[in-house]
């Protein structure tokens, strides 16, 4: 993180979103919306006095998935990069009611700016890497048998990560959310939303087998006399040192049970899991203090809209579509746009890093050229035939066609006059051919797929 922030060639723009992308490979113009932070980061030293003094302290900390509290002015987490605070407008008393302003008064560098607005900036770039990541499947909406989220001690794997993390709400001690007690027995359920056509997604989320093994290992090693039960369909450990890691969890004493949990219900302050042990072929019940669900990875919220803005496709599950699963795994169908990480499909960290480097090489290959050869199969207009109706202009998905005025010589001694005709920007044109059938006067032709070429093909078949 720090390496990325400190690199002289990297301009970091955080708390910002890309709202528009125009142009084409080698020549994109992007619009970036810098959301109002209400703190001038050029003035702010990151001293943190404002964070300590903010009276609006009892806001659910999104970073800790609601398990901790944060002030209205805060850093995303203490080690945030850049290490500067921002104000969450919704929880700030000054911004919602106009009263307070404590941070403004105490800031030693006068960096608090309550009048800051969202800012839009434009940038010219030659290549784009999509690295929008993933979100987790909302199991609370789908899995009634696990309580639809009404049992506080049924949590997701990411919540377990926060509970286990030294920087988390419990300082790294695994405590269950309901009463803060240390759980002596923890059950893990894999494939919650993954490999489940009826309630979730048909695909395997790839990372869960391994992080669940890690969680089970952590329970066994961090909590004395603890039990860790892992309910699984399969254990998939296809990666270097992965099988060994799974064996490490088994050797630490984790109990793996092959079967789907059909119901979770409370018994006092504990939870009972009903399942089947399919290896023994008999029903099984396990009572535990905490249940952790390995939920499916989904494309991150808003990633689909971004694909539409930039103009490339997504797959049936909403992940970004690679140009070819084997030969072009980091390219999209939009030239100059590349993919890295879980936005292309569920991935663990080693695969993500490898794919990101692959995308970077593709970008470097492009940026190391001085100029780029373009595909000549683009649309062309016969201006003699063009009536200037303009039907083709809104049809072009790449904004490559515009109406231009040309001077026309008058017939039969009439004076010359101005008329409009369509013009194709061959750099923007991707050769899709959508404009050709829209042209009523057959003035538009796609080079390489002209009307006479297509007619010749049909003739060969039919005549």
Partner 1 sequence: MKKRVGVFVCDCGTNIASVVDTEKVAAAAGKLPGVVFATTYKYMCSDPGQELVRNAIQEQKLEQVVIASCSPRMHENTFRKAVTAGGINGYMFEMVNIREQDSWVHHDREQATKKAADLVRMAVNKVLHNKPLQITTIPITKKALVIGGGIAGMQAALDIAEAGHQVILVEREASIGGKMTQLDKTFPTMDCAA
| Beta carbons of 424 and 378 less than 8 angstroms apart | yes
| Beta carbons of 108 and 43 less than 8 angstroms apart | no
3-state secondary structure of 287: strand
Kindly identify the residues of this chain, within the stretch 368-407, that bind partner 1 according to CB under 8 A. Answer: 368-377
Q: CA-to-CA distance for 327 and 250, rounded, in angstroms?
A: 38
Strands 16-24, 27-34: pairing is antiparallel
Helices (H), 252-330: 303-310
Residue among 37, 94, 176, 220 that touches partner 1 (CB under 8 A): 37
164 touches partner 1 (CB under 8 A): yes
433 touches partner 1 (CB under 8 A): no
**Tokens 């939303």 belong to residue:** 193
Lookup: tokens for 258: 């092959």
Shortest reach from residue 86's CB to partner 1, in Å: 5
Q: Which residues does residue 255 pair with via DSSP β-bridges, in sequence order? A: 229
Residue among 262, 357, 404, 441 that touches partner 1 (CB under 8 A): 357
Nearer to partner 1, 30 or 192 (CB): 30
Quick one: which segment of 53-61, 147-155, 159-167, 178-186 binds partner 1 (CB under 8 A)? 159-167
| Beta carbons of 228 and 256 less than 8 angstroms apart | no
Residue among 124, 197, 224, 225 that touches partner 1 (CB under 8 A): 124
Quick one: which segment of 91-99, 126-134, 185-193, 387-395 binds partner 1 (CB under 8 A)? 126-134
Q: CA-to-CA distance for 448 and 435, rounded, in angstroms?
A: 15
244 touches partner 1 (CB under 8 A): yes
Nearer to partner 1, 284 or 432 (CB): 432
Radius of gyration of the chain (CA): 29
Residue among 46, 101, 126, 253 that touches partner 1 (CB under 8 A): 126
Nearer to partner 1, 43 or 125 (CB): 125
Shortest reach from residue 346's CB to partner 1, in Å: 12
| Beta carbons of 164 and 218 less than 8 angstroms apart | yes
Kindly identify the residues of this chain, within the stretch 280-339, that bind partner 1 according to CB under 8 A. Answer: 300, 302, 306, 324, 327, 338
Kindly identify the residues of this chain, within the stretch 73-102, that bind partner 1 according to CB under 8 A. Answer: 75-77, 79-82, 84, 86
User: How far is CA 308 from each of CA 20, 99, 314, 326, 430, rounded to the nearest angstrom?
Assistant: 10, 41, 9, 24, 16
How far is Cα of residue 180 from the mean position of the Cα atoms in its chain?
33
Shortest reach from residue 440's CB to partner 1, in Å: 23
How far is Cα of residue 177 from the mean position of the Cα atoms in its chain?
28
60 touches partner 1 (CB under 8 A): no
At a CB cut-off of 8 Å and minimum separation 6, what does 188 contact? 212, 215, 216, 228, 229, 230, 231, 291, 292, 293, 294
Nearer to partner 1, 187 or 210 (CB): 210
Shortest reach from residue 386's CB to partner 1, in Å: 20
123 touches partner 1 (CB under 8 A): yes
232 touches partner 1 (CB under 8 A): no
3-state secondary structure of 174: coil
Shortest reach from residue 248's CB to partner 1, in Å: 8
Kindly identify the residues of this chain, within the stretch 3-32, that bind partner 1 according to CB under 8 A. Answer: 3-5, 7-18, 24-28, 30, 32
Q: CA-to-CA distance for 343 and 208, rounded, in angstroms?
A: 17
Q: CA-to-CA distance for 243 and 240, rounded, in angstroms?
A: 8
Q: How many residues bind partner 1 (CB under 8 A)?
A: 115
167 touches partner 1 (CB under 8 A): yes
Nearer to partner 1, 75 or 286 (CB): 75
Residue among 46, 101, 149, 239 that touches partner 1 (CB under 8 A): 239
What does the chain come to in residues?
463
Shortest reach from residue 461's CB to partner 1, in Å: 5
């Amino acid at each position: 993180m720090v390496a990325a922030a400190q690199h002289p060639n990297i301009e970091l723009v955080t708390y910002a979103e890309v709202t528009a992308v125009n142009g084409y490979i080698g020549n994109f113009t992007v619009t970036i919306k810098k959301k109002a932070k209400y703190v001038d980061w050029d003035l702010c030293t990151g001293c943190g006095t404002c964070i300590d003094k903010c009276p609006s302290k009892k806001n659910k900390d999104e970073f800790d998935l609601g398990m901790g509290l944060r002030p209205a002015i805060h850093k995303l987490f203490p080690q945030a990069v850049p290490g500067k605070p921002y104000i969450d407008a919704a929880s700030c008393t000054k911004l919602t009611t106009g009263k307070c302003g404590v941070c403004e008064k105490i800031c030693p560098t006068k960096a608090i700016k309550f009048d800051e607005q969202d800012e839009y900036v434009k940038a010219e770039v030659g290549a784009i890497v999509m690295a929008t990541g993933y979100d987790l499947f909302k199991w609370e909406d789908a899995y009634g048998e696990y309580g639809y989220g009404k049992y506080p001690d049924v949590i997701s794997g990411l919540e377990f990560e926060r509970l286990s993390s030294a920087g988390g709400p419990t300082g790294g001690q695994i405590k269950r959310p309901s009463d803060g007690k240390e759980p002596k027995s923890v059950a893990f359920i894999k494939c919650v939303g993954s490999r489940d056509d009826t309630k979730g997604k048909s695909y395997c989320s790839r990372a869960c087998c391994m992080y669940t093994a890690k969680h089970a290992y952590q329970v066994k090693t961090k909590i004395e006399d603890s039990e860790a039960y892992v309910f699984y369909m399969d254990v998939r450990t296809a990666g270097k040192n992965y099988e060994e890691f799974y064996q490490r969890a088994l050797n630490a004493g984790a109990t793996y049970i092959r079967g789907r949990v059909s119901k979770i219900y409370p018994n006092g302050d504990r939870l009972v899991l009903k399942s089947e042990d399919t290896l023994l072929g008999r029903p099984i019940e396990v009572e535990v203090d905490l249940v952790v669900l390995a939920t499916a990875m989904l494309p991150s919220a808003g990633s689909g809209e971004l694909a539409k803005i930039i103009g490339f496709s997504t797959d049936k599950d909403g992940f970004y579509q690679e140009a070819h699963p084997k030969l072009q795994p980091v390219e999209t169908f939009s030239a100059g746009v590349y993919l890295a990480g879980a936005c292309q499909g569920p991935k663990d960290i080693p695969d993500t890093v490898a794919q990101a480097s692959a995308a970077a090489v593709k970008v470097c290959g492009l940026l190391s050229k001085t100029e780029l050869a373009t595909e000549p199969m683009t649309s062309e207009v016969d201006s003699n035939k063009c009536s200037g109706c303009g039907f083709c202009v809104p049809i072009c998905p790449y904004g490559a066609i515009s109406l231009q005025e040309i001077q026309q010589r008058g017939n039969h001694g009439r004076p010359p006059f101005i008329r409009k005709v369509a013009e194709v920007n061959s750099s923007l044109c991707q050769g899709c051919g959508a404009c050709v059938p829209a042209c009523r006067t057959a003035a538009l032709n796609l080079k390489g797929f002209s009307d006479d070429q297509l007619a010749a093909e049909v003739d060969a078949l039919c005549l």
